[in-house]
């Protein structure tokens, strides 16, 4: 089932009608406009509410005010604000490469960063790149959190909280126009249904024609259309229990794969325009739902969560990345998961606090890849095709225990223990052959925090990390049939400090990761398949610094810095895939990891009285050099990006002008050297150019 975009537009306009009718409402001139608080942000990083500056975990928090003032409506927007977190968006909706502290997502593999939405674990990593139009708060936890969150948090956790149902009637709407024929509309309505039942319904529609031209097709290739609809229900069941129900659907269409073929040695050049002979196409459907029950008693809170996730993807594209009719590829991915989690959380006001829980999940993932070959490129049409059809099934189960205890008045000792087990099975649909394997691990975490006073904390931690192994596509000789699970051992030292007034906040950490069997994605163009290989041993050393300063009544300054120094210690290159590598790779950097990341933000703000306020944001982002492959021959140089936003709030309205990548920097988002693909040329995926536009928000 798909969401009809015209229906959604009418739905949003219908909701926007009452909003626009309320524009004559008299604003409360005495009510202060929302301001950013650096030290009073409440987070749920340890699955209970705590103050961010009191939690011995390195994290970045983004409040609702910051979400609005930064214009955050997609993943890339908040990743730019987070040290040692990078993002590559390429090929088709859902496909991306997320790297945190040198640990990278691999296609067709598990995410290294667990994604939580309203406390619900997201089963498919391909759902991350949706339009985030209803976000209230973002928490990014860096470093392994597997002892509490499970196997897919070997690098960290991204936790998003969306706007909740409200006890009072509320409306909000957002409209936007931009270059590339960009237009978007989002709206939400919430309020009470009965004395103890509340709701929120929201939706968004986005459409753009795109920025990247193709001379061969005489059109843009990076168009996008995204429609989403969400519904929430919250019921208070007496004095001790509450039930929440969440439903969500997203349909996305975009230009699909539009890689550019180029000569060897041009990995770090400015991309030109792609020249495919076929119009690329990508599609994705997301369907999600969850039910959560919380029961509170003097002994603690019992929580039960049941959720389902369904995701379907399709892409079709020119696969020789050139004008002749040689290769065409089509791929269909179908994913479906069911999740159940039970946990018990002790009260917050105890010297010893603990959480115990159990987790169970099943998922099925089917991939159907077809390659079409034209034996005579001079003649139109494709005559020969072959395909790879595989079905993957997984059953995950886990039990965990986490606790923290105050020792005297200034020390806190925290520990967590979790056992994860994955039972995986792959069926070759062509032959009926079945492969199965069990991947399991015990993950531990131990941290000790010292509170020098109410404003300063030092902490040290040790943590294990684990990400499951799996199976490569059947019948592809260039890849091993199976790739191993990843394991890490991590040490971290950190501090958190704020001054007496809370106007200055400085947090920092240094970390070391010992990595075994790091997973690496590789691409085999001639057979139209991809696979995952393991680096036997590698290490990661890095540091992070996150500073925020309220310089005066009209200027805030933020600065973030991250470094990730990776090194390959050992790699078995006997696989046929490595036949073209010249020389040893020991001592090289691991792929897709920027050596440095830095962000500098300036926020100029003035209250003009009578509920009027102007905010100017200028954000500079530095992405350091990264290597595309383990041979370190091809790399991308450092990138420097500049974003700006100017907003004016008056009463219930906010109007903003924005610009992203104002310097119009052009580079490759993703790159595959011919030595690592078997293709005749190198291929690269071009980045998005400069974008700009205007946005209006109304809230009541």
Residue 506 tokens read as 């400085």
The first and second tokens of residue 128, run together, are 């991350």
Render pLDDT for 255-314 as a digit per residue (tens, 0 to 9). Answer: 889 998 888 888 889 998 898 888 999 999 999 999 999 999 999 999 999 999 999 999
Residue 17 reports pLDDT greater than 60: no
Distance, CA of 298 to CA of 44 (rounded, Å): 20
Q: Parallel, antiparallel, or unpaired for β 113-117 and 156-162?
A: parallel
Q: Band of the pLDDT at 676, cuts 50, 70, 90?
A: confident
Confidence of residue 36 (pLDDT cuts 50, 70, 90): low
Please state the rounded mean pLDDT for residues 122-135.
86
Which residues in 512-546 are b (16+ Cβ under 10 Å) and which e? ebebbbbbbbbbbbebbbbbbbbbebbbbebbbbb
Decide if pLDDT at 30 tops 80.
no
For residue 442, what are the domain limits? Answer: 5-699
The larger pLDDT score, comparing residue 641 to residue 150, is at 641
Distance CA 433, CA 479 (A): 17
Handedness of CA 34, 40, 45, 48 (dihedral sign): negative
pLDDT for 223 equals 93
Say what the alpha-carbon torsion angle 292, 296, 301, 307 is, to the nearest 10 degrees. 0
pLDDT of residue 582: 66
Mean pLDDT on 488-508: 94
Q: What is the mean pLDDT of residues 655-670?
A: 95
pLDDT band at 31 (very low <50, low <70, confident <90, very high): very low
Q: Residue 45 — very low, low, confident or very high, per pLDDT cuts 50/70/90?
A: confident
Burial class (CB in 10 A: 0-12, 13-18, 19+), 214: buried
The tally of CA atoms less than 13 A away on the side-chain side of residue 141 is 28
Say how far apart CA 26 and CA 96 lie, in whole Å. 46
Mean pLDDT value across residues 77-81: 87
Q: Tell me: the pLDDT tens digits for 545-584?
A: 999 999 999 999 999 999 999 999 998 777 666 666 667 7
* pLDDT score for 413: 96
pLDDT band at 202 (very low <50, low <70, confident <90, very high): very high
- pLDDT over 50 (residue 229): yes
Given a cut of 60, is residue 1 above it in pLDDT? no
The reported pLDDT for the residue numbered 189 is 96
Beta strands in 525-661 (DSSP E): 529-550, 555-570, 596-609, 612-623, 626-627, 635-636, 639-650, 653-660
505: enclosing H helix or E strand: strand 504-524
Confidence label for 528 from pLDDT (cuts 50, 70 and 90): low
Q: What is the pLDDT of residues 610-625, one digit of tens each?
A: 889 999 999 999 999 9
Largest CA distance in the chain: 81
Across the range 182-205, mean pLDDT stands at 95
* Greater pLDDT, 121 or 45: 121
pLDDT band at 57 (very low <50, low <70, confident <90, very high): very high
3-state secondary structure of 147: helix
Tell me what pLDDT residue 111 has.
87
Q: What is the mean pLDDT of residues 683-688?
A: 92
Residue 487 confidence (pLDDT) above 90 = yes
User: What's the pLDDT at 543?
Assistant: 96
User: In whole angstroms, what is the distance from residue 167 CA to residue 264 CA?
Assistant: 61
- List, in order, residues 6 or more apart from 501 with CB less than 8 Å away: none
Q: How far is CA 199 from the centre of its chain?
A: 27
Say yes or no to pLDDT of 529 above 80.
Answer: no
Number of domains in the chain: 1
Confidence at 40, pLDDT banded by 50, 70, 90: low
CATH of the domain at 481: 2.40.170.20
The 10s digit of each residue's pLDDT in 390-424 is: 899 999 999 999 999 988 889 999 999 999 999 99
- Compute the distance between CA of residue 225 and CA of residue 545 in angstroms, rounded to an integer: 37
Of the two residues 431 and 445, the one the predictor is more confident about is 445
Residue 10: its pLDDT value, please?
A: 41
25 pLDDT above the threshold of 50: no
What local confidence, expressed as pLDDT, does residue 560 receive?
95
More confident residue, 379 or 251: 251
Taking residues 52-62, report their average pLDDT: 92
Q: What's the count of helices (H) and strands (E) in the chain, helices before strands? A: 4, 41
Assessment of whether the complete model's pTM goes beyond 0.85: yes
């Amino acid at each position: 089932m798909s969401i009809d975009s015209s229906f959604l537009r009418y739905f949003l306009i219908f909701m926007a009608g009452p909003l626009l009718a309320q524009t004559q409402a008299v604003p409360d001139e005495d009510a202060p406009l929302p301001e950013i608080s650096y030290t009073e942000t409440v987070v749920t990083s340890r699955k209970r509410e705590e103050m961010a500056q009191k939690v011995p975990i390195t994290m970045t928090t983004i409040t609702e005010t910051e979400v609005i003032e930064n214009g955050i409506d997609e993943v890339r927007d908040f990743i730019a604000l987070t040290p040692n977190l990078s993002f590559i968006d390429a090929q088709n909706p859902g496909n991306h490469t997320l790297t945190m502290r040198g640990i990278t997502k691999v296609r067709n593999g598990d995410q290294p960063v667990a994604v939580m939405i309203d406390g619900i674990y997201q089963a498919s990593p391909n759902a991350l790149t949706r339009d985030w139009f209803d976000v209230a708060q973002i928490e990014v936890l860096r470093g392994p959190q597997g002892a509490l969150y499970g196997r897919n948090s070997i690098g960290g956790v991204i936790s998003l909280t969306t706007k909740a149902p409200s006890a009072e009637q509320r409306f909000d709407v957002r409209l936007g126009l931009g270059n590339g024929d960009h237009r978007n509309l989002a709206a939400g309505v919430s309020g009470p249904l009965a004395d103890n039942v509340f709701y929120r319904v929201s939706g968004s529609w986005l459409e753009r024609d795109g920025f990247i031209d193709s001379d061969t097709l005489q059109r843009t290739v990076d168009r996008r259309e995204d429609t989403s609809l969400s519904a929430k229900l919250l019921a208070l069941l007496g004095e001790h229990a509450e039930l929440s129900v969440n439903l969500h659907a997203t349909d996305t269409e975009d230009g699909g794969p539009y890689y550019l073929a180029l000569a060897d040695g041009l990995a770090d050049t400015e991309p030109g325009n792609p020249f495919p002979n076929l119009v690329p196409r990508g599609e994705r459907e997301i369907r999600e739902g969850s039910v959560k029950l919380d029961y509170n008693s003097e002994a603690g809170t019992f929580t039960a969560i049941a959720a389902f996730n369904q995701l379907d993807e399709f892409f079709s594209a020119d696969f020789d990345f050139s004008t002749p009719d040689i290769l065409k590829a089509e791929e269909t991915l179908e994913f479906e998961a069911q999740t159940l989690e039970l946990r018990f959380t002790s009260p917050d006001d105890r010297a010893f606090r603990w959480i115990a829980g159990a987790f169970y999940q099943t998922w099925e993932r089917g991939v159907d890849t077809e390659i079409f070959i034209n034996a005579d490129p001079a003649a139109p049409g494709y005559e020969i095709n072959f395909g790879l059809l595989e079905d993957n099934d997984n059953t995950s189960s886990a039990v965990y225990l986490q606790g923290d205890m105050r020792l005297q008045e200034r020390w806190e000792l925290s520990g967590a223990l979790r056992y994860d087990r994955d039972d995986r099975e792959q069926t070759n649909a062509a032959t009926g052959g079945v492969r199965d394997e069990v991947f399991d691990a015990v993950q531990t975490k131990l941290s000790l925090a010292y509170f020098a006073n109410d404003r300063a904390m030092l902490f040290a931690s040790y943590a294990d990390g684990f990400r499951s192994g799996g199976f490569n596509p059947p019948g592809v000789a260039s890849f091993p049939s199976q790739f191993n699970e990843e394991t890490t051992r991590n040490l971290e030292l950190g501090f958190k400090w704020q001054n007496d007034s809370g106007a200055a906040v400085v947090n920092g950490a240094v970390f070391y990761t010992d990595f075994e069997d790091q997973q690496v994605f590789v691409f085999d163009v001639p057979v139209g398949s991809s696979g995952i290989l393991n680096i036997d041993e590698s290490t990661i050393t890095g540091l992070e610094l996150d500073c925020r300063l309220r310089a005066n009544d009209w200027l805030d300054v933020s600065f973030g810095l991250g470094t990730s120094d990776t090194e390959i210690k050992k790699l078995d290159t006997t696989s046929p895939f490595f036949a073209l590598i010249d020389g040893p790779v020991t001592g090289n950097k691991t792929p897709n990891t920027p050596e440095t990341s830095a962000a500098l933000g300036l926020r100029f703000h003035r209250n003009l009285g009578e509920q009027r306020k102007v905010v100017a944001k200028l954000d500079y982002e530095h992405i350091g050099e990264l290597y595309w492959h383990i041979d370190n021959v091809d790399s991308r140089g450092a990138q420097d990006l500049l974003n700006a936003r100017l907003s004016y709030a008056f009463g219930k309205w906010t109007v903003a002008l924005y610009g992203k990548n104002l310097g119009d920097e052009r580079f490759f988002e993703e790159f595959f050297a011919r030595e690592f693909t078997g293709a005749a040329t190198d291929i690269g995926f071009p980045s998005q150019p400069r974008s700009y536009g205007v946005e209006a928000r109304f809230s009541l």
